[in-house]
Amino acid sequence: MKTALKWIAAVVLCLIAGIAGLFIGTQGDDTVAQLVTDDPSLPAMNINGIRLHMRIVNGPANAPTIIVLHGGPGGDFRSLQALEALSDRFQLVFYDQRGAGLSERVPQDLLTLDGHLEELKAVIDIVSPEQPPILIGHSWGAMLAAAFIGQNPDDIQSAILIEPGYLDAKGRTAWAATGSTYMSGPTYWWQAVIAGFRTQHITGPDSAAQDDFLIGHMVGVFANHPDNPYHCGNGYTAPNWRFGALTSNVWRGAPDATVDRLGAQVRAFTGPVLLVTGSCNIWLGPLQSQFVAWFAHAGLAIIPDAGHDVVWDQPQATLFVIRRFLN
């Protein structure tokens, strides 16, 4: 009995020492960026009572407007800023969606699909009140753009959808099944443990900072998985300012009926649509050729040597196909 107690005590002491060692060893320089609600130097605009991180790049007088929708939900527009080169002919509007990037954090009841669609409508009313804008969406942003043009077919000139992951509940199920292979295994869970300890050292700048850091880090682990075709084999290098954990979690739990709304009405939009994919992404790439048939007038462009974030991976090639489409 005494021997067993000694072994138990030894194991407990080892566990305590290991936990203490991990806690001390994960101390570092990890920080979380301030939101527009705390940093008045950030460009921002109040949309439907929510303060959004927004950057407007002016083009020629009376130029058409392009609105850029970032991925996630929870990401930001940092990796998409190469699109500002289009300001020689267009006004460019970049914004971090509610609860994401550097925009204000809001309660989960405001992070619904309807909330995002209403927000986009309000942005359009402010930045392009006289003429329908063009939408460029990446990943989740492309899914949001698809839902918007389907429900508001007369409010948009054209749309460029860069690697939407799915447009209905069946697609989400398939995405999750493949995605789970990049979110499992000893390496993944060890990374999760380390990230959990690193998170404990995050003390601000706001109450959402710890969750944003943890979930954002694990999204990076997923995207950087060596077998994940989100990159071309050299890792997923697209940068971001800050991830929005709550908006990501809310969408993950969205009911199938809500997810089905993404693509349910897209054929009502009769304007031109361009689907864009990276040649390295053998996971989402084949989906884009299937999505072409969903729309009344759509085409497909494949960007060589690009993964999921084609704008970051190959900005010049992406700009070329976008300009060709817009012409």
143 and 71 Cβ atoms separated by less than 8 Å: no
In this structure, is residue 304 part of a structural domain?
yes
Question: 123: which 2 tokens?
Answer: 């942005």
Domain containing residue 283: 46-173+257-326
Average pLDDT value for residue range 227-254 = 97
Residue 200 lies in a domain: no
From the list 315, 301, 316, 274, the residue with the least C-alpha distance to 79 is 315
- Asked if 288 and 301 touch (Cβ cutoff 8 Å), the reply is no
Q: How many other C-beta atoms can be found within 10 angstroms of the C-beta atom of residue 231?
A: 22
Rounded average pLDDT over 159-173: 98
What residues are paired with 275 via a beta bridge? 161, 300
Q: How far apart are CA 231 and CA 165, in angstroms?
A: 15
pLDDT digits (tens, 9 = 90+) for 248-286: 999 999 999 999 999 999 999 999 999 999 999 999 999
The model's pTM is 0.94
Does residue 24 register a pLDDT over 80?
Answer: no
227 within domain boundaries = no
pLDDT at residue 13, rounded to an integer: 54
The pLDDT value recorded for residue 306 is: 98
Read off the pLDDT of each residue in 121-144 and give the average, rounded to a whole number.
Answer: 97
Helix (H, G, I), strand (E, B) or coil at 14: helix
Lowest mean pLDDT among 50-64, 180-194, 244-258, 298-312: 180-194
In a domain, 205, yes or no: no
- Does the residue 281 lie in any domain? yes
Number of domains in the chain: 1
- How many angstroms separate the Cα of 5 from the Cα of each of 11, 13, 207? 10, 12, 42
Which residues, 6+ apart, have CB-to-CB distance to 112 below 8 Å? 250, 254, 258
Give me the residue label for tokens 């925009």.
103
Structural domain contains residue 57: yes
d(CA 150, CA 62): 26
Question: Of the ranges 8-22, 180-194, 301-315, which one carries the lowest mean pLDDT score?
Answer: 8-22
Evaluate if residue 5 carries a pLDDT over 70.
no
Phi first, then psi, for residue 38 (nearest 5°) are -115, -20
* Contact indicator for 279, 302 with CB cutoff of 8 Å: yes
Q: At a CB cut-off of 8 Å and minimum separation 6, what does 69 contact?
A: 97, 120, 135, 136, 137, 138, 140, 141, 142, 144, 145
The residues that bridge with 158 in the sheet, in sequence order, are 134
What the block records as the tokens of 18 is 């290991």
Dist CA 285 CA 306 (whole Å)? 11
Which CATH number does the domain housing residue 89 bear? 3.40.50.1820
Dist. CA 273–CA 229, nearest whole Å: 24
233 lies in some domain: no
DSSP per-residue codes, 108-165:
GGG-SHHHHHHHHHHHHHHH-SSS--EEEEETHHHHHHHHHHHH-TTS-SEEEEE---
- Please check whether residue 303 lies inside any domain of the structure: yes
